[in-house]
Amino acid sequence: MDDLKTFELPDAVCGGQAVDAEACAGVRKRGRPRAFDPDVVLETVLEMFWMRGFANTSLDDISAATGVSRPSLAATFGDKEALYLKAMERYRNNISRQLDVVLQCTGNDGTLRDIINRYFDIMIGSYTGETEECLGCAFMCTALNEAPRHESIMSVLQGTIEEFDLRFERFFTKAQELGHIGSNQDPKVMSQMITSLTSSLAVRARAGASRADLQKIVDATTSFLFP
C-alpha cells in the first residue's frame, strides 16, 4: 500500500481560469435562457389550430412555423393536446376580457338591445377577422370534432358552454332587476337563446357567411327579442 501514489485533483477551471469548484458548478446550473417568447408561440399555434383543426396540425408543423424544436415545445407546453388547450385558453381569455367590458347592465349602458348588439359585434369580429378566410370560433369549431376522442377537450368544451350560459344568466337576472325585461321572462332561457345564436353564427362563419350576412341575422333576432 505504501507504493500507491496519492493524486490531487487539479483546480476547477471555469471559463479558462481556476476558480472555486462550487462557484463554477453554480454557473453551470443556471442553464441557458429560453430563446423564444411563449406568448408569441401560442399566438402562432392558435392561428394554426384555428385554420387547420386539431387533427390536421402536427407538432412538426408547429415546430416549423414557430422555429421552436419539438423538445422545447414539450418542455414548455406539454404534448400536442396540452398545447391546443393552452392556445384555446388564450383565445377564450381574450374574448372574455372584451365581454367583461361590454356585458355590463347598470342602467347607464344604453338599452338592452344596444348591449347585446355590442356583444355580437365582438363575436362577429372574432369569427370573421381581417381576412377572407372562413374562421368561425377558434374553439367551438375545432373542439366539436375532437371532444368525443379527447376527454380533456370534452371537459373544456362543456365548461365553456356552461360559462357562457352562466355569464348571460347573471346578465339577464340583473337586467330583470332593473326592469329591462319582464318578470315573466326566464333569464336562464334567454341566456340559452343568446348562446345558441352565438354558436349558430360561429358555424355559419366557418361555412363562409360574410360579416354582413351574420349582422343581418343578429339585427333581426335582437329586434325581435328586445323591441
One pLDDT digit (tens) per residue for the chain, 227 residues = 444 333 343 343 334 444 444 444 444 444 454 578 999 999 999 999 999 999 999 999 999 999 999 999 999 999 999 999 999 999 999 998 988 888 887 766 678 999 999 999 999 998 987 665 678 998 888 998 899 999 999 999 999 999 999 999 999 999 999 888 899 999 999 999 999 999 999 999 999 999 999 999 999 999 999 88
Q: Return residue ranges of the chain for CATH 1.10.10.60.
A: 34-87
Element at 162 (helix H, strand E): helix 151-177
The pTM (predicted TM-score) of the whole model is 0.77
- For the chain, what is the largest distance between any 2 Cα atoms, rounded to a whole number of angstroms? 105
Identity of the amino acid at 102: V
Grid cell, residue 7, equals 493524486
Domain 34-87, what architecture?
Orthogonal Bundle (1.10)
157 Cβ contact partners less than 8 Å away, ≥ 6 residues apart: 139, 140, 143, 144, 147
Helix/strand/coil for 82: helix
Element at 17 (helix H, strand E): strand 17-18
Q: Return residue ranges of the chain for CATH 1.10.357.10.
A: 103-225
Grid cell, residue 128, equals 370573421
Instruction: State residue 14 phi and psi, 5-degree precision.
Output: -140, 120
Domain 103-225, what architecture?
Orthogonal Bundle (1.10)
Q: How many CB atoms lie within 10 A of CB 134?
A: 17
Instruction: State residue 2 phi and psi, 5-degree precision.
Output: -70, -20
Provide the pLDDT for residue 132: 59
